[in-house]
Structure 1
Amino acid sequence: MKLKKIFFLLLFFICVNAFSQLLSSNLEKKTLALGETDHLVIKIENLRSRAVITAPKDELLPFHFEEIKDSIGINANTYERRIEFAVYEEGTFKIPELEFKVGEKLLKTIPYEIEVVNTATKEDQINDIMKNKEVDLEAIDYWELYKWYVFTALAVIALIFVIVMFVKYGKKKKSSPVVTTNQTLKELDSLKKKKYIEEGNYRAFYVELIDISRKFITKQYRIPADVLLTDDLVALMKENNTISQDNEKIVEDVFLRGDLVKFAKTFPDKDLMEKDFTEIRDFVKRSSEDIEFENLRKDV
């Protein structure tokens, strides 16, 4: 009986390994000189023609890692990604767990830590090719050296004067909610024409959609959405009640999803991207109702 149990356990582990995806990663060097190149290789085996979803090319590694080359090789059973990169700052930098979604299964690489050092030393001598020569300068020489600085200073002073006069005496053009709405709708139409949804480029789609939405909220509702974090923005919207609850819910859902996409925590499909685009567009169209209600409330 014991031999049968051992046999069945071995058979179970063999079947699991035969039908599961195997992810491996390899970092060539863990200590680098400034600007020296390194290579990270990630490989997934036993795909069985399943798609691999992860960060787009040249966007897999964190900020400090300058990606020089990002090549991806895919066939029916294997996914291989080779990244050549360099770091141009001294210090210790981390490559976190990198996520790869195969079907419904989420695979993660092991994290790495890289130390970047400056190989130059204080004892290194820098020799001049020629000895410095002293030259006596006259007034005309100083003018030739600094005349462009003088012209630049005068131009800056003139520009400041023009701005002050324009602010003081110029007519201020009032922007109506309708003008802001129409301008934002044009920007959304331009985003739609880029076909990010059709191509499945969810990262670029949400970055531009949220950027357009933040600028719109800032201008239309006088809320500093362009500088606030998502959580702070949601809290402020609920506090001042300028935006209706339905519109608040749309903004909150889309912005939070956009943050997850930005950090590769979720991978939305085309239907969800289309739904978020439509809801933001409808929110922009309905915004004038929020403004009219806010004006009535102030009058009361």
Structure 2
Amino acid sequence: MKKAIFVLYFLLFFCRSLFADVAIFAYLNKNKITIGDNIKLTINLEYTNDVKISSAVFENNLKNFEIKDYKFSQGRKKYVLFGRYVKKYEYLLSTFTTGIYPISPFSISFTNPAGIIAQAQTQPLKIEVVSLLDKESVADIKDIKPPVNVKSKSFLYLLSILLLIFLAIFLQKFFHKDLPSVILSEIIDPYKYAVGELAKLESANLIKEGKIKEFFIILTRIVRIYLSKIFEVDIIDMTTSEAIRALREKNADKKFLMDLREFFNFADLVKFAKYIPDEKETIFNLETAKNLIESVRPLPPKISETKNGVKQ
């Protein structure tokens, strides 16, 4: 039944347009767009060859849109048998504001064969312009995944420790990069080397000049170079923990290692944590470095005497 009604309406509409002096139709390629999309409006004007068409101005009905392009075709015969002509007006429209925009009926005036001025018009149209983030579009946008919940606190602790270790290695290498390189094999007498370098450090007056961090960088490096030669393991660029572990594996005395760790930890505060000790603390650590060097000083070779009193 519905199909029959639709066919009937179509036939009536077709016959009306076919036998009317002038018929005008307007349609859109789509009724709903998003901001910035293009929409095509087509206006068809059909008329007989014995009517006079007034000039058509349809742009006044499109003030809510940006006309990006347009095209008009010349009148041509459509139904040869009935002597009818058709003109086509095409507009490419766009807009950047949301809302529902009604388009008023397009009308055109003409003079029929009897000399009477008449008017024909289209049906009204409506365009809905929606945002890119409307409900239909949002459905295609997936939310950011929630952060991973780490249940094990031990994992966080382990990660923090590893980051601190890497940071300490980086900072230690960074602060040592401007110091002169030392080839351990070229140091014949490590004790003489350490005593000489400590004397140079004291005479440099870094403490008086307030260059405390530079003082501790050089001081700890002297100690590290000295211990590297004494224990035959390179701890120059190791972290404090790595250096203590390496010396422990070389059977260093426990009391010595405790004092050395305390000395290195205090120096790390100055070098990396921006702690500024006073002059008394600085001199105390200088003396501590000297005591550490003395505590592992190699014993001089024993000199034995022969029965003839000749030293060997």
TM-score by length of 2: 0.34
Of Structure 1 and Structure 2, which has the larger fraction of its residues in helix? 1
- Look at both structures and tell me which one has the larger radius of gyration over its CA atoms: 2
